[in-house]
Amino acid sequence: MSLNKTHYWKLILLLFLVAPLSLSAQTQVITGTVTEAATGEPLPGVTVISKGTTMGAVTDFDGSYSIEIVPGATLVFSFVGFSPQEVRVNDQTLINVQLGESTTELDEVIVVGYGTQRKRNLTGSIAKIDGSQITETPVSTFAAGLQGKAAGVQIIQSNGMAGAGSAIRIRGVGSISAGGDPLIIVDGIPINQDQDGSYGVRRGANTSAMATINPNDIESLEILKDASAAAIYGSRGANGVILITTKRGKSKEASWDFSYRAGMVQETKRLDFLNNTEWLQLHQEAYENDAIYGSGNLDAGAYPDLPGGVTLEEAMATNTDWQDLMLHNGFSQEANLSFNKGSDKLKSYVGISYSDQDSYLMGNNYKRLSGRANLEYQLTDHMSAGVNFTQAFGVNNRVEASWAGGLGSAQSDALPIWPVWTDESTYFDAGSNPVRSRDNKEIKSFENRSLGNAYLNYRPIDGMIIRADYGLDYLSLDENYYENEILRSVPYAESRVNRYLSENGKVVGTYDLNMPENHYLQILVGTEFNRTKKGNAFLSYDGLSDPIYKYDALPDSSLTREEDNPLVMSNSFVSFFTRISYNYKGKYLFSGSMRTDGSSRFGENNKFGYFPAGSVGWIVTEEEFLEKSTLLSFLKLKASFGYTGNAEIPDLIQWGTTNINNGITYNNDSIIFRTNLANPNITWERTFSYDLGLEFGLLRDRIYGELTYYNKRTENMLLQVKTQASSGWAIVYDNVGEMENKGVEFMIKSRNLVGDFKWTTDLNIGFNRNKVLDVGTASPDALAGTGDTRVIKGHPIGVNYLVRFSHVDPADGMPVFFTKEGEETKVYNVEDRVVVGKPYPDFIGGINNTMSYRGFDLSFLFNFSYGNQIYDDAGKRLVGRINGWNQSRMVLDRWRQPGDITDIPRLTLDGALSGIETDRNTDEFLYDGSYLRLKQLTFGYNFPESVVQKMHVKNLRLYFAATNLLTFTKYPGSDPEIFRDMENVMQKNLSPSVTYLTPPQAMTFNVGLNVTF
């Protein structure tokens, strides 16, 4: 019989309609109730299928079902999060089933792009982190909670300041000038995430837009790593995708959760500097060295003037420990209260949270108040609607850092011979005085984020769901800066505002087709649009007595500059996508997807891009020859390939523009000038990647592991191609570069002991090798980060490009370098720079051990990074250039007299006289950045049932948690996890593992309690 598709559907429909009406003698009806094994509670929504047929039913709100079968059939009961059960029907008509919670990894539900899937059936590479793993330890942004928890995912926190940001790198860095962070999606909305690296950059430090997302709201987080998982996000998936799902109402009875945590914050390591006596002694020695060994006519017996106009007596009597004045033990606390109810028609999760976090820098603090409501209502049997909404307010009291002052000054140009005060009411101001700056400046940022979406789910027929979704993300950042009359004769106040408003809408239809036995097919079709408006404003005033935010109305007379750029459309995306997932007998798995993206960012000649991907999997243990194996309980082989893109390029660079409203006049005549050259070919960066992987489970999945090899090749990299300056144009944007990332990821989760004493070990490790394949005609200096990292063809991204240091000549204490060709020379020449190191590690990973016994639990997470070099950009000043800076104690090993063997050259005050180039960039200050760190340690106690019931609560937990407790590293600086301050995307990609007086990470000690009632 040849049936075409329409007939086929009609036939099935007829069967469904007819079947319940005809009780043929050949079938029988089975009824029963499905309950949860642990609690005895009825389980609604359980799927009951007659194995091998299309007969199916779903349990209702009481857990009851009714299904018509042929005698001898086998019923399969399955429900997400629970282990499925099969019951063969003999002659009973009542079959009650108890389902136990699934303990294997493989039954976990994983959120994938626009849907969910069972882990067992995944053919892509996705890591899942449960929300509780993020909130177990104190973190201010969720990214910090991911460190060391997913193979191949590197999180580098920039520093330990309050609200500090991190860079997230999935399988290495995928771009040079375009954003290197993954796309972050919260409940289906791609959010504003400071992709251009300039968010909140002020006075030597960056803050993070992610600080307004409350980690406590997160239910689960999935990291999509390979093409088949991320390609459905098309032109935005090349760096991977992070899907965040916030908490839903799911507890059957209304329940409240309250948690409170308080703790102390310290720096991970404090550096050692000279005291006043030592500094004076070395300063004098440097002068005498210049007199004895240098050219010029200095008198070796004289005393040079001391900086800051202090006399020798004053200097010998003053020993200020500036670091001590900048650092303290900070206090941080956080409280969360949430309500959760999820049965009947309404699922609701409502929460409110307050956190108040000091950093170890005095005066630095971040407060956040946020609330969330996630509601879903079952309108009819076929339709549900929901809304997710969060509002957060953050206030960040900032301090200067790095080159701008604060701790950076204390570690550099604030000399120990200078006092804080010259008398009772006057600050010392003839030199750097970070206490004076901090006391008389106010740097305060106000953040406001509203994020929400509303959706409708419609199930027209069994197996099909159509979802329409609309969301908004609004983010505003108001940075206030104020200097009072002690610092400036006329106080200066400034307010700088940045605003983003994004809209996102989509319609997605998913259909699980009714297939003949052993086949499973799901089709997904969807369309999505996204657009973002950006705006900013700037105000500055002279002569105010307070910062701008304290005023309701500001005096016009003091206004010195005002700019207001209201929100205007900045970028837009339109997409169409489809995915087909198929498996045969749960054994052979196939998935294919295609996405088309168009964006306003892409030039007119390249508006739309196509991103196909495909993957296959074979669950080998389903085959007969492995079914009986007791050791190998699960083995899946998988492979995937596909195209993804990176659209994080500036919004408007395709246009050739001319500025006609610049307000500049020459000779009272106005001028106009071109500002950008047109490039209608601007397009997204494109990555082709393929993955080969295997997943295994041993001993009934007590040990579960994954091993993956991946290969990603990125082309069309958008480079800020530096032109010859003689062309009159400094840079042009063009898609010219190529880069590859290859690596291996391995993870293993072992439930070592499962009795009364439980012990689980999680290990993940990711090896990545990055290589830049093509940068067009760019010279090494054309593509640079802060701190002398460069992009050079044939090397990993961000290599250190420095002159090699050989030794110190014992005869005269002068440094000896290597020329490019390897010969020794005392002349420092930038042309002798060669590639000497790289900022991204060879491998990273984490080991987490969790143990529990009778209510007590202990877990500790070590994370490690190996094979990167850290360049200390301030090193050349801190070790040997004592002119105007304090010195690291490393300088005590310097060369002092002929015959000394040491690595630290002769001290000098004046490079012109001594011939020692003190502004040199060499590998003297390039260090091995590998480290092993005890990242998290948690010790907790869950009070037993008996106690808990007497208190009329459902759960009570007390715990102690510490972060960054121990660090093992050869790096002599303050912290091997480091990231320089940056001002644009390229710097963000090229500046990890570089420090310039960058503050270290924070070490915290906390106690907390969680109560559920």
Partner 1 sequence: MKMNKIIIISAVVFMFSGCENFLTIEPTNEVLTTEAINSAEDIQKTLISAYDVMRNGNYLGGNMWTMGDLVSDNSEKDFSDFGWDQIAQRSMNLFNIQGRSFWQNAYFSAERVNYVMYLLDHSGVPDLIEQERQRIEGECRFIRAVAHFELVRFFALPFEADSNNDQPGIPIRLKPVVDIAAATKIVDRATVQMVYDSVIAELELAVDLLPGDNGTYASSWAAKAYLARIYFQMNDFDRAFSYASDIIINGGFALNDSVQERFATTNSGEAIFELQSTSAGNNSAGALVGNYRQNGAGNPGFHPSADLVNQAISDENDTRGQRFYNTRFISGTEGLERTYCAKYDYDYMNVPVSHLAEIILIRAESAIDKSSPDLPQAISDLQMIRDRAYGEGNKIVPGNSTAEELRNLCQFERRLELAMEGNRLHDLKRTKSEVRGLPYNSNRTVWQIPDIEQAGNPDIEMNPSSD
In the range 452-511, which residues lie near partner 1 by CB under 8 A? 458, 460-461, 464, 466, 507, 509
User: Whole-number minimum distance, CB 345 to partner 1, in Å?
Assistant: 23
CA distance 416 to 428: 12
Judged by CB under 8 A, the stretch of 242-250, 536-544, 571-579, 867-875 that binds partner 1 is 571-579
Interacting residue with partner 1 among 668, 821, 899, 901 (CB under 8 A): 668
Class of residue 822 by CB neighbours under 10 A (exposed 0-12, middle 13-18, buried 19+): exposed
When asked if residue 1005 is in the footprint of partner 1 (CB under 8 A), the reply is no
Of 47 and 572, the one with the shorter C-beta distance to partner 1 is 572
Of 30 and 791, the one with the shorter C-beta distance to partner 1 is 791
User: Whole-number minimum distance, CB 517 to partner 1, in Å?
Assistant: 24
Of 677 and 692, the one with the shorter C-beta distance to partner 1 is 677
User: Whole-number minimum distance, CB 457 to partner 1, in Å?
Assistant: 12
Residues 862-921 that bind partner 1 (CB under 8 A): 912, 919
User: Whole-number minimum distance, CB 677 to partner 1, in Å?
Assistant: 6
When asked if residue 798 is in the footprint of partner 1 (CB under 8 A), the reply is no
Residues 530-549 that bind partner 1 (CB under 8 A): 531
Q: CA angle, corner 632, sides to 628 and 638, nearest 5?
A: 110
Of 294 and 940, the one with the shorter C-beta distance to partner 1 is 294
Mind giving me the DSSP string for 105-135? Answer: GGG-EEEETTEEEEGGG--S-EEEEEHHHHH
Of 80 and 830, the one with the shorter C-beta distance to partner 1 is 830
Of 219 and 651, the one with the shorter C-beta distance to partner 1 is 651
Of 4 and 668, the one with the shorter C-beta distance to partner 1 is 668
In this structure, are residues 910 and 918 in contact, taking their beta carbons and an 8 Å threshold?
Answer: no
Q: CA angle, corner 973, sides to 160 and 141, nearest 5?
A: 20
Give which of 539, 511, 543 is closest to 526, Cα–Cα.
511
Beta strands across the sheet bearing 64-69:
64-69, 28-36, 97-99
Residues 188-247 that bind partner 1 (CB under 8 A): none
When asked if residue 673 is in the footprint of partner 1 (CB under 8 A), the reply is yes
Judged by CB under 8 A, the stretch of 108-116, 691-699, 745-753, 826-834 that binds partner 1 is 826-834
Per 3-state DSSP, what percentage of the chain is helix, strand, and coil (rounded to 5)?
15, 50, 35
CA distance 520 to 583: 5
The token duo for 113 is: 């792009």
In this structure, are residues 957 and 943 in contact, taking their beta carbons and an 8 Å threshold?
Answer: yes
Written as one letter, the residue type at 890 is M
| Cα four-point dihedral sign 421, 422, 424, 429 | negative
Residues 581-620 that bind partner 1 (CB under 8 A): 598-600, 607
When asked if residue 826 is in the footprint of partner 1 (CB under 8 A), the reply is no
Residues 698-737 that bind partner 1 (CB under 8 A): 721-730, 732, 734
When asked if residue 666 is in the footprint of partner 1 (CB under 8 A), the reply is yes
User: Whole-number minimum distance, CB 201 to partner 1, in Å?
Assistant: 22
Written as one letter, the residue type at 599 is S
Of 339 and 529, the one with the shorter C-beta distance to partner 1 is 529
Site map (CB under 8 A) of partner 1, residues 49-88, x = contact: ----------------------------------------
Of 602 and 641, the one with the shorter C-beta distance to partner 1 is 602
Interacting residue with partner 1 among 779, 811, 855, 968 (CB under 8 A): 779
Mind giving me the DSSP string for 423-490? Answer: ETTEE--SS--HHHHHHHEEEEEEEEEEEEEEEEEE-SSTTEEEEEEEEEEEEEEEEEEEE-TTTSSS
Interacting residue with partner 1 among 166, 175, 195, 571 (CB under 8 A): 571
User: Whole-number minimum distance, CB 213 to partner 1, in Å?
Assistant: 27
In this structure, are residues 402 and 996 in contact, taking their beta carbons and an 8 Å threshold?
Answer: yes
Residues 924-953 that bind partner 1 (CB under 8 A): none
Interacting residue with partner 1 among 108, 219, 285, 651 (CB under 8 A): 651
Of 650 and 693, the one with the shorter C-beta distance to partner 1 is 650
Q: What is the DSSP letter of 897?
A: S
CA distance 829 to 819: 8
The token duo for 992 is: 């990890």
Give the residues across from 692 on adjacent strands: 639, 709
When asked if residue 782 is in the footprint of partner 1 (CB under 8 A), the reply is yes
* Total of chain residues touching partner 1, rule CB under 8 A: 71
Judged by CB under 8 A, the stretch of 80-88, 255-263, 328-336, 654-662 that binds partner 1 is 654-662
Interacting residue with partner 1 among 672, 699, 754, 947 (CB under 8 A): 672
Written as one letter, the residue type at 927 is Y
Of 710 and 925, the one with the shorter C-beta distance to partner 1 is 925
Strand runs labelled E in 723-794: 731-754, 757-774, 789-790
Give the residues across from 351 on adjacent strands: 338, 372
User: Whole-number minimum distance, CB 652 to partner 1, in Å?
Assistant: 5
User: Whole-number minimum distance, CB 540 to partner 1, in Å?
Assistant: 16
Task: Please write down the HEC assignment for all residues of 355-367.
Answer: EEEECCECCCEEE
Interacting residue with partner 1 among 674, 700, 807, 820 (CB under 8 A): 674
Give which of 183, 158, 182 is closest to 168, Cα–Cα.
182
Q: What would you measure as the largest C-alpha separation in the chain, in angstroms?
A: 119
Coil, helix or strand at residue 621:
helix
Of 464 and 554, the one with the shorter C-beta distance to partner 1 is 464
User: Whole-number minimum distance, CB 187 to partner 1, in Å?
Assistant: 21
Interacting residue with partner 1 among 93, 605, 658, 825 (CB under 8 A): 658
Residues in Cβ contact with 984 at an 8 Å cutoff, skipping those fewer than 6 apart: 196, 197, 198
Residues 951-990 that bind partner 1 (CB under 8 A): none
In this structure, are residues 941 and 955 in contact, taking their beta carbons and an 8 Å threshold?
Answer: no
User: Whole-number minimum distance, CB 562 to partner 1, in Å?
Assistant: 15
CA distance 134 to 145: 5
CA distance 396 to 402: 18
